[in-house]
Amino acid sequence: MTNQEIASAFDQVADLLEFQGANPFRVRAYRNGARKISDLGERMADIVADSSRDLTEIEGIGKDLAEKITQLVTTGRLSQLEELQAQVPASVLAIMRVPGLGPKKAAALFKELGVETLDQLRTACTEQKVRALKGFGAKTEETILKGLDIAKQGDVRTKWAEADSLVLEVLAHMHLLDGIRQIEPAGSYRRRCETIGDLDFLVEAHDAAKAMDHFGCFPVIAEVIARGETKMSVRLSSGMQMDLRVVPPQSFGAALQYFTGSKAHNVELRGRAKQRGLKINEWGVYRVQPDGSEDYLAGRTEAEVYTAMELPCFPPELREDREEFRWAEQGQLPKLIELNDIRGDLHTHTHATDGKNSIVEMVEAAKAQGLDYLAITDHSKRVTMANGLDAKRLLAQWAQIDAIQSEYPDFRILKGIECDILEKGGMDLPDDVLAQGDWIIASVHYGQNQPIEQITERILGALENPHVDIIAHPTGRLINRREPYAVDMEQVIRSAAKHKKFLELNANPARLDLHDLHCAAAKRHGVPIVISTDAHSTEGLDVLRYGALQARRGGLTAADVANTLSWEKFEKLLER
């Protein structure tokens, strides 16, 4: 069982307990445990299997949670979760994902109106029954209706990072079988899409039947949907579908290209093949003869397939039929950014606000990752729930950073702040304070339901502030949980270009904000992107990888991302 699956189980327990009105401290323990497990850099299953290790040595994991983790790892089940699920309809979990709702309001809807499903909730809202409940109202009803579609999507799609953990488990499982010559994941996962509906695997194996038998033994499979001679479809306990296709060696590359997609990319490719008297499908590339017969040309590798079409082998992240074919024709296919291109992290938090670690611990973790510089950017005072910094505390922290900096001559620590853009406009801290910092982030945390004109003006005002360097998570979205707030990103990008400011690509896999299309737009306008982790712990620094993958989908190169520069060059860029 993967860390993400264990964390998901604990999150479900927390949701169901909160739905039932359980002790808030008990609920919080499960949520904190889920977050800790998600951020952990090693597999919980490996720790459980090591008799010399104790799960309670992990911060935030007590005896009770340790026993439940062991149960999940060893049996794939959690009896407490099953008991709670028997008491609360499973469909209620989807209701909790609707923006504007949570466990308490979902419980009220269930008890007062008998609402158990998203369809029932939609009906209750359209019939204006929800607004009559205490604590709701017409505005809440309207918000729920707007959020129903994203809640339904969240019911069936998985964030890429979670799918990645599962894919690695499947690959490790399949490689245990002798006779697996090659195996690759395909589909939207391989294109690094933000969310994944299902998973596709292609395998070349000595014995197709044995490969499918072994695939069917993967621990979290709930049912086999279908099985033929070369294809098998299964459904996991999470509800996700996985398909395995056994492919002959001469077709492996063609099948990998075909099943990676996207559909739009493949339609364009097939059209180009037809113009050349060729045929392309999952079996290979063929020359079509005048008598209708077909001669096999290529298919063993993807490179062979694209070469037969006189095209470069496109990185999977670009295969969306956006710009890739035009770039190829003009000889301008970009060399996409790699994770190891990134030299610094410019958005991190410490225990001064809502982080878990000290400045020194964050610096040491960043150095261990091979980074050359790090910005400490705790929250400003408006974020009261995070114990945000007022001017006095911030200046004291910056003085502390100056003292620590002397101990790290070969590593640069930037004095920063994530300063809120106030609901009425303007910054949360005075200019004379911000002027003393090295790196000032502006962000929107409150007033996210304001009209598009108001939110856009707030962000444009921040970009005009001479002390602000960058806008963090510019659309405020949380994938599958909260839609972007209404903001005119075209205006924001143009203003960032005009005022020579940066835009953040927040690498947290729950955000990935900017999304790929906005990254591409920023590139067109010459706006430098900064890929940052928004880490709230040393483990949180690990998410830079997801930001790099998102940047690749936007067609970004190392030159488009400012924190690929050495500190000396980045400092000069700041001086502009």
Amino acid found at 316: P
Residue bearing the bigger pLDDT, 365 or 77: 365
Can you tell me the distance from the alpha carbon of 414 to that of 402, in angstroms, rounded to the nearest whole number? 9
Can you tell me the distance from the alpha carbon of 320 to that of 268, in angstroms, rounded to the nearest whole number? 10
At residue 8, the pLDDT reads 86
- pTM of the model as a whole: 0.79
At residue 454, the pLDDT reads 97
Average pLDDT over residues 231-241: 88
- Residue-wise pLDDT for 297-338, tens only, equals 999 999 999 999 999 999 999 999 999 999 999 999 999 999
Contact 541, 365 (CB under 8 A): yes
Q: Which of 268-272, 341-345, 407-411, 478-482 has the lowest mean pLDDT?
A: 478-482
Within 20-89, where are the H helices?
24-39, 44-49, 63-75, 79-87
Highest mean pLDDT among 89-103, 346-360, 476-490: 346-360
At residue 208, the pLDDT reads 96
Strands in 206-343 per DSSP E: 221-227, 231-236, 241-246, 278-281, 284-288, 294-298
Within 525-563, where are the H helices?
544-553
Can you tell me the distance from the alpha carbon of 106 to that of 7, in angstroms, rounded to the nearest whole number? 22
| Share above pLDDT 90 across residues of the chain, in percent, rounded to a whole number | 75
At residue 156, the pLDDT reads 64
Domains annotated on the chain, with CATH: 3-155 (1.10.150.110), 159-246 (3.30.460.10), 252-329 (3.30.210.10), 339-574 (3.20.20.140)
Contact 556, 564 (CB under 8 A): no
Average pLDDT over residues 237-260: 94
At residue 452, the pLDDT reads 93
Can you tell me the distance from the alpha carbon of 234 to that of 570, in angstroms, rounded to the nearest whole number? 49
Can you tell me the distance from the alpha carbon of 461 to that of 447, in angstroms, rounded to the nearest whole number? 15
Give Cβ neighbours of residue 7 (< 8 Å, ≥ 6 apart). 33, 34, 35, 37, 38
- Residue-wise pLDDT for 100-128, tens only, equals 677 888 888 988 999 988 889 999 999 99
Can you tell me the distance from the alpha carbon of 135 to that of 235, in angstroms, rounded to the nearest whole number? 39
Number of Cβ atoms within 10 Å of the Cβ of 49: 11
pLDDT at residue 284 above 90? yes
pLDDT at residue 155 above 60? no
The mean of the pLDDT values for the chain is: 92
For residue 23, how many C-alpha atoms fall within 13 Å in the half-sphere facing its CB? 4
Q: Where does the pLDDT of residue 489 fall: very low under 50, low under 70, confident under 90, or very high at 90 and above? A: very high
Contact 359, 404 (CB under 8 A): yes
Average pLDDT over residues 77-81: 91
Average pLDDT over residues 445-467: 96
Q: Where does the pLDDT of residue 223 fall: very low under 50, low under 70, confident under 90, or very high at 90 and above? A: confident
- Residue-wise pLDDT for 91-100, tens only, equals 777 787 777 6
Q: Which of 57-61, 379-383, 519-523, 556-560 has the lowest mean pLDDT?
A: 57-61
Can you tell me the distance from the alpha carbon of 125 to that of 100, in angstroms, rounded to the nearest whole number? 13
Q: Which of 87-96, 184-193, 530-539 has the lowest mean pLDDT?
A: 87-96
At residue 86, the pLDDT reads 86
pLDDT at residue 179 above 80? yes
